[in-house]
Structure 1
Amino acid sequence: MSETQDRAEAAGPPHAPLGPREQEEIESKTPISPPAVFEVIRRAGRREMMRPASALLAAGLVAGVALGFSLLTEALLRAHLPQADWRPLVENLGYTVGFVIVIEGRLQLFTENTITAVMPVLEARLPRAAIRLLRLWALVLTANLVGAAAFGTALWASRAYDPALWQAAEQIARHAMSFGATETLFRGVGAGWLIAALVWTMSTTEHGHLALIVIFTYVIALAGFTHVVAGTVEATAVVLAGHMGPWAALTGSVLPTLAGNILGGTVLFALLAWAQIRAELHRQRTGEG
């Protein structure tokens, strides 16, 4: 059964005959249904899974570098703002910059794929779909982390050119790395869930994506949630500055954040969203009801 038929049934019999113009106006103002949102995300995920490895690596590398601008912009704002209670409200807006570049630029970000590429696997339930998902994850995550580490290295290497900027970036990075592994994991769950929710919400509308990206990622920053790619920029800066060893940064921050992002994006959002619409999809495809 089509989505249009579903909408007609939900609306019930009209009180008076409606012309084509009125019908079009009703359709344009009827919210998109969850199965339709699922289909939008599923098709996008399938396209990403079929892309060549070289394209995924290149887009993932650029995305990793781009997320470094979140830390850089935060540091710029901190370096130029006075010490005040309201400073975090402004400073954390800088965190949104990297995500705007990545998402609006259609680059490859691992945490987007914790929902986008999972939907085709849930729908297909085939081993080859799961293999394609793991391939996508491995390529994109590797490229993201390499790009993020490269940005963190460049930021550390240029510390002498603007000491105030480096000091601000170092403070932000050390604070982000100060949580224990367990707390970091839970904070990663929050970030993973919000990124998945952002992808889902953006699929319901053709407009206003910039505002959605800013709002969702601003909440991530304000709440102190952890994101594995942005966190790798911070971890690299902290390690190179000598405040933490590479193994401690990997096991205490990067890996727990990765686990939390997957748990929040795939388990707590994608699987629950799938559970919500699975019965409805089955009814539409079999023509029941």
Structure 2
Amino acid sequence: MGIDDDDSAHGGPSPSAERDDRPFAPREQEEIESKTPISPPAVFEVIRRAGNREMSRPPSALIASGLVAGVALGFSLLGEALLRAHLPEADWRPLVENFGYTVGFVIVIKGQMQLFTENTITAVMPVLEAKSRRALRGLLKLWLLVLGANLVGAVAFGTALWASRHIEPEVYRAALDIADHAVGFGPWETLLRGVGAGWLIAALVWIMSTTDRSHLALIVLITYLIALAGFTHIVAGTVEASVVVLAGQMPLLDAATSSVLPTLAGNILGGTVLFTLLTWAQIRVEFDRDHRQGR
């Protein structure tokens, strides 16, 4: 057994640790650090601090931002409808028209507006770290304010789209067809599709926290996948449900019980339970160790 192996066996420095301690010039050290990926606990801390900032904002600011976000997400349905109305009916059409779905999310996320599905990870992180009733109450308050404002904004956009149905009838018919298909799944299928959307939005928030670049491309890619897969999103789906209800193609109660509520449950399950909690379980030991060491 060599000297290095003996040191490692008795708790001495490993070869990898020795390599990490090699001296480098300051400029080389900066270059190394700039190319070293951010660690999962550091990503968690970035998102946790963002969540704390969101929960400390005045309720009026949250509501105003949530309303604007709800309206902005309506442009996802409008973007799809515009593309469908101007594209020929063909097998490849969904591959193009679903890019319209990304428009609302680009506006909301790049505009740093309050979107409920982002808060299924961002606002949950402080609760996981604090483990207090006060933090949990703050999370529930934020969720209620943002979700309520998002839904009001979404209904407002859906109502405006329905009210303007005679201005661009072809675009409205395309929007109605898209919306009718989106709310036509059964409750359980809608819930499962909501899980997919919730998980992907939480993953998007996580990935964007690891880099300062390519956010636009990431937003477009992830939300395009949500549209192409037919996953359901609570805010965009409420715009769709509003159009269908106002057109008289579905009763309000049916839209709520078979589409809106299952989508909401699926988004929370996918974003908070299947992504955020499992991610926290993965890094909790490392996170606690770093805190004990004062890092």
Post-superposition CA distance 1:60-117 (Å, at most 9, x none)? 0000000000000000000000111111000000000000000000000000000000
1:200 pairs, out of 183, 199, 206, with 206
Larger radius of gyration: 2
Which of 118, 131, 137 pairs up with 2:137?
A: 131
Structure 1 equivalent of residue 11 of structure 2? none
Which residue pairs with 1:6 in the alignment?
none
Report 1:51-62 matches (<5 A).
Answer: 51-62=57-68
CA RMSD of aligned residues (A): 1.5
Distance 1:26 1:143 in 2: 45
Q: Residue 19 of structure 2 aligns to which amino acid in structure 1?
A: P
Following superposition, the deviation at residue 11 of structure 1 comes to: 5.1
1:107 corresponds, among 66, 88, 113, to 113
Aligned to 1:227: 233
Unaligned runs of 5+ in 1: 1-8
Question: 5+ unaligned residues in a row in structure 2: which ranges?
Answer: 1-13
Letter in 2 for 1:194: L
1:270 aligns to 2:285 (yes or no): no
| TM-score normalized with structure 1 length | 0.95
- 1:134 partner letter: L
Pairwise CA distance, 1:282: 1.2
Alignment-mate amino acid for residue 91 of structure 1: E
> 1:227-282 CA deviation, whole Å, 9 max, x = no partner?
00000000000000000000000000000000000000000000001001100011
Tell me, in whole angstroms, the C-alpha distance in 2 between the residues paired with 1:48 and 1:260: 23
**Aligned partner (choices 78, 85, 93) of residue 79 of structure 1:** 85
Q: Name the residue aligned to 2:155.
A: 149
Give the aligned residue type for 1:40.
Answer: V
CA distance in 2, matches of 1:285, 1:177: 46
Please state if 1:13 is matched with 2:18: yes
Hey, what does 1:211 align to over in structure 2?
A: 217
Q: The residue matched to 2:165 in structure 1 has which SS?
A: coil
Distance (Å, rounded) in 2 between the aligned partners of 1:23 and 1:10: 19
Q: Taking every aligned residue pair, what percent have the same amino acid on both sides?
A: 74
Per-residue deviation, 1:13: 2.1
Shift of 1:286: 1.7
Q: Tell me how far apart the structure 1 counterparts of residues 47 and 81 of structure 2 sit (CA, whole Å).
A: 34
The TM-score normalised by the length of structure 2 is: 0.93
Q: Which runs of 4+ in 1 moved over 6 A?
A: none
